[in-house]
Structure 1
Amino acid sequence: MTVLIEISNSDVVPSTRASELVQELHRITTELQTVDLTQCSDAELVDVAADTERAIARLTFAGDRQIVEIADRDLPHKTGHRSITQFMTHRLRVADPMRRTKQRHATATHLSPTGEPLEPEHPALAEALADGKINTSHIRAVLDVLDQIPHAVDHDVKIAAERQMAEIAVDHTPADITALGARLLAHLDPDGTLADDTDRKRRRKLSVNRQRADGTAKMSADLTPELLARITMLLAVWAKPGMNNPDDPESPHGSIENADPEMVEAAAARDDRSDAQRNHDAFNALLKAVFEDGLLGKSHRGLPIQVIVKADLNDLVREAGFATTATGTLIPIPDLIDMAADAQPWLAVFKDATAVPLYFGRGKRLATREQRLVSFARPDGEVCSTPDCGIAAAHVEMHHAQLDWGLGGLTDITDLAPACPKHNRMVGDQPGQFTTRMVREGPDEGRCVWRLNAEPGAPPNPERVNRRPDIPRRFIEHLEQVRTEIHGPDEASGDQSRLQLRQIIDLRNASDAEATLASIMLAAAYPRV
């Protein structure tokens, strides 16, 4: 049966298949808006909600395809609009046409001047969006990362990076994409040529806008990695719930490390501020303390806040790459070396290539500072160990993962795992709570696994590990695949790949420990056959 639609000039024309599908989509959407959801089981309701979000993403891909066709036909000018952007804003009611345009250029199929379809600029992203595995926010975060790769980088490296980021986007949040993208950029550019110290210093700024009518003002800043590391550490100890609350006369002031735990707990229960408001109040309290204590302008005094950083030994030797702070900030190795001139170094050694640290036992319930440092130094120890949680190590507690302290568990580093306060309190034996244990063997040895307790009669949920993506390994795999697609498989060679040392190590004045370390590294790089 042919369906007829009415157009603006009152003429009647046969509808196309595209119009029929859109009308059917509206009919289904209307029904979906009013369908009885109480008939769904818990699992089915979750699947329905997830599939709805997936459909929204797929519709965005379809909409971008339609906008490409509109632009190719020059319909914006034919309908009295000065540009495709204005057409999208006023006729299509697109909320952010500029971002949508950037997404369309990256993921949509366009036509060449001869009418041939061109592959999307980022085909892996396009495929993920078309399938509904990612949405516009994921794409925006990925493009922000890819835009930072310099044009001088080889084409195959760019393709591999795009595939890597598309893979990350499927399983992670936009915030995670930004953080993991920074790690990918650090891997692509360990020597810091993407943004050297001169570029970072040139871009640094902090601006305070004029006051608004209500007396408030907006502040914006581009921070160097060094300042960012210090600020995030400050917020970790001054902006905790209950701390420095100007609306609570009994709120403790200063650092949480110096506050009475019972007072902090009571104040936190009364604290209804947002994270951003707590950050604001922490800065205000800090500046108030600076003025009251006469610290302003005196460089020999300061706050007892330490920046805790972990770095790979190979990066330190090369003086290249990036280190990670306990708040999740990436710091270029040269900057770290400058910051660490007066610091106290710690060495954490792990079993083989696992997360099993040196044994460090303790006969008390609370973990020591040393145990916390070792926990942070573990692979993925910079975040909470609960799957899909990205709370930084500066905000976690040490969880008795193998056996609760009250049940006879030991405060040994091999039985402890980082857990944010929320997840630490969700451990228990009731449905909806978590059961945890430490892995004792296999590739995940030394890690904490979490299992969500199932409802009575339901099958058990799987055990999960909060494993962060192995950026270097996966990138190399993507790059090898891209090069195989472009150049074909490499011929078999009997030569073994060797570590390329990018810096000459001067051992003439080395200590015994440094000479031994260099000997071990050289033996690993050039094994005897």
Structure 2
Amino acid sequence: MSETLIPELPQELWRAGKLELAHGVTHLVQVMRVASAALGKYLAEIETRGAEDLYGHGSAASWFAEIARFSPSDARETVNRALALNPVPEVGGAVTVFAPATAAAAEDGAIGDQHIDLILEILRKIPTDLPAGEREGADKILADLARHAGPKEIAQAGADLLAHLDPDGNEPRDPDPAPPRREVFVERRKDGFWKLSGLLDPETGARTAAILDAYGAKRPVDEFGQADHRTMPQRYGDAWADVLDLAAACPDQPGTSGYRTLVHVTVGLDALKTGLGTACLDFVGKITAREARLMACDCLMIPVALSAAGEPLDVGRMRRFVTPGQRRALNIRDGGCAFPGCHRAPKHCHAHHIQHWADGGPTDLRNLVLLCSYHHRLIHHGDWTVRIAGDGLPEFVPPQYLDPLRHPRRNVLHRVVT
């Protein structure tokens, strides 16, 4: 079976290009999913006939655990998944499938065990006193979504469906109180980096640790296979930057009026347009010209233009790129980070220019999209592209190695499933 399902690997894999590597991975993922669905058919049939009569075991799960060298709990999960996706006789002679739409998606290799388990968990929460058609409809909605979405989008869609079918639920938790006064010391080092230290009372320290833990949590592996390899100090550093972004975007923050960071960028005009070269940030240290392009999307900037010899030719006036009114409109339209599968709220997002202002892009809603810092950097540095569709909403075109046909995708987490 392995010789017919698994393609022959190149003898020298290190010579493969990025498209060849990506196509190999996506093909093998589909092969694994199709094989898992086929295995489920066998296990469901064994459970239906009776593992005791066939093999002398009390259940298909105990027999499967023995031959596959699985733990009993893992074997039971596999068999239960198989029974939910395949025809099983019921009392009275009827043969039914618990989640037929999910089963069809699994047979196509479009979804894997993680998607299936999440959908089944949601379907089992639907009240049993509702008509059977309600569960079938929910199964189809979630299975169709899972073909091109990740676990977070499925979970959000499931929560919306359950809220619609069963409005009774847990009340939202009260918001955290404002943090008390804290004492910190900030010192700039000779290399341009800043050293942060301080002494916090027990309550303030506990709250600080909780905030850093929350904003510094590892990002889960998304549907595109992107893992989070940051160390804990790096995640805490990024969390601190997120907290500063929240403070800078507050309308009551002195000196910002709801805008994001004010920066002085000293950079040659050609470097700013191409993203090649370096720039000086706030006369303190160097950053790349590409980083300057990223920062210029959503901040107050004072450009300092240089001649080829490095002579300052002009110090521009502060230019407002995204007004508070435009920002509010973006928050309403996008609902948060618009990248497919991202759950970050508007307060954690930057306003990204789809066509950069240095390239003549206007600052209006049809050229702006909300992105969290992680996906903002991905758009600037990666192979994804973003555009505004005909209905005025943003959509993202994946790289060819992820989708050879490059079908556009949208984030459905911020919208109610209907």
**With structure 1 as the length reference, what TM-score do the two structures score?**
0.47
Task: Provide, for residues 182-210 of structure 1, a one-character-per-residue CA deviation record: whole Å limited to 9, x for no partner.
Answer: 12223334xx23x2xxxx3xxxxxxxxxx
User: Is 1:84 the counterpart of 2:60 in the alignment?
Assistant: yes
Letter in 2 for 1:225: P
SS at match of 1:226: coil
SS at match of 1:399: strand
Q: Which moved more, 1:102-111 or 1:410-419?
A: 410-419
1:234·1:305 contact (CA, 8 Å) conserved in 2? no
1:387·1:464 contact (CA, 8 Å) conserved in 2? no
Shift of 1:408: 4.8
Structure 2 vs 1, CA of residues 152 and 91 (structure 1 numbering), >3 Å: closer, same or farther? Answer: same
SS at match of 2:375: helix
2:350·2:376 contact (CA, 8 Å) conserved in 1? yes
CA–CA distance in 1 between the matches of 2:125 and 2:89?
27
SS at match of 1:417: strand
Q: 1:148 aligns with which of 112, 125, 128?
A: 125
Letter in 1 for 2:128: H
Tell me which residue corresponds to 1:135: 112
Task: Provide, for residues 125-155 of structure 1, a one-character-per-residue CA deviation record: whole Å limited to 9, x for no partner.
Answer: 1111111111111011111211221112222
Tell me which residue corresponds to 2:224: none
Shift of 1:72: 3.6
User: Is 1:167 the counterpart of 2:144 in the alignment?
Assistant: yes
Shift of 1:175: 2.0
Structure 2 vs 1, CA of residues 375 and 132 (structure 1 numbering), >3 Å: closer, same or farther? Answer: same
CA–CA distance in 1 between the matches of 2:356 and 2:39?
53
CA–CA distance in 2 between the matches of 1:97 and 1:51?
26
User: Is 1:102 the counterpart of 2:80 in the alignment?
Assistant: yes
Structure 2 vs 1, CA of residues 434 and 117 (structure 1 numbering), >3 Å: closer, same or farther? Answer: same
* TM alignment of 1:401-420, pairs within 5 A: 401=354, 403-413=355-365, 415-420=367-372
Tell me which residue corresponds to 2:337: 384
Task: Provide, for residues 406-443 of structure 1, a one-character-per-residue CA deviation record: whole Å limited to 9, x for no partner.
Answer: 34545445542101223323445x8x54554545xx3x
CA–CA distance in 2 between the matches of 1:306 and 1:39?
47
CA RMSD of aligned residues (A): 4.6
User: Is 1:250 the counterpart of 2:202 in the alignment?
Assistant: no
SS at match of 2:410: coil
* TM alignment of 1:306-345, pairs within 5 A: none
User: Is 1:48 the counterpart of 2:7 in the alignment?
Assistant: no
Structure 2 vs 1, CA of residues 438 and 183 (structure 1 numbering), >3 Å: closer, same or farther? Answer: same
Shift of 1:50: 1.5
Tell me which residue corresponds to 2:265: none
Tell me which residue corresponds to 2:330: 375
User: Is 1:57 the counterpart of 2:11 in the alignment?
Assistant: no
| Structure 1 unaligned regions, length at least 5 | 1-24, 201-223, 236-247, 257-270, 287-302, 308-361, 474-529
Higher-Rg structure is 1
Structure 2 vs 1, CA of residues 89 and 416 (structure 1 numbering), >3 Å: closer, same or farther? Answer: same
* TM alignment of 1:426-437, pairs within 5 A: 426-427=378-379, 432-434=382-384, 436-437=386-387
1:452·1:461 contact (CA, 8 Å) conserved in 2? no
Letter in 2 for 1:468: V
2:400·2:406 contact (CA, 8 Å) conserved in 1? no
2:126·2:162 contact (CA, 8 Å) conserved in 1? yes
Tell me which residue corresponds to 1:225: 172
Tell me which residue corresponds to 1:422: 374
Q: 1:364 aligns with which of 312, 315, 319?
A: 319
Shift of 1:120: 1.6
Task: Provide, for residues 284-303 of structure 1, a one-character-per-residue CA deviation record: whole Å limited to 9, x for no partner.
Answer: xx9xxxxxxxxxxxxxxxx9
Task: Provide, for residues 329-379 of structure 1, a one-character-per-residue CA deviation record: whole Å limited to 9, x for no partner.
Answer: xxxxxxxxxxxxxxxxxxxxxxxxxxxxxxxxx98345455543332211x
Letter in 2 for 1:396: C
* TM alignment of 1:447-466, pairs within 5 A: 447-450=393-396, 464=408, 466=410
The alignment covers a number of residue pairs equal to: 302
CA–CA distance in 1 between the matches of 2:359 and 2:43?
62
Tell me which residue corresponds to 2:182: none
CA–CA distance in 1 between the matches of 2:400 and 2:107?
34
Structure 2 vs 1, CA of residues 139 and 306 (structure 1 numbering), >3 Å: closer, same or farther? Answer: farther
SS at match of 1:171: coil
CA–CA distance in 1 between the matches of 2:121 and 2:138?
13
* TM alignment of 1:176-187, pairs within 5 A: 176-187=153-164
User: Is 1:273 the counterpart of 2:196 in the alignment?
Assistant: no
Letter in 2 for 1:464: P
2:99·2:120 contact (CA, 8 Å) conserved in 1? no
CA–CA distance in 2 between the matches of 1:251 and 1:463?
48
CA–CA distance in 1 between the matches of 2:151 and 2:162?
16
Q: Which has the higher strand share?
A: 2
Structure 2 vs 1, CA of residues 47 and 81 (structure 1 numbering), >3 Å: closer, same or farther? Answer: same
1:70·1:76 contact (CA, 8 Å) conserved in 2? no
CA–CA distance in 2 between the matches of 1:184 and 1:400?
34
2:64·2:70 contact (CA, 8 Å) conserved in 1? yes
SS at match of 1:250: strand
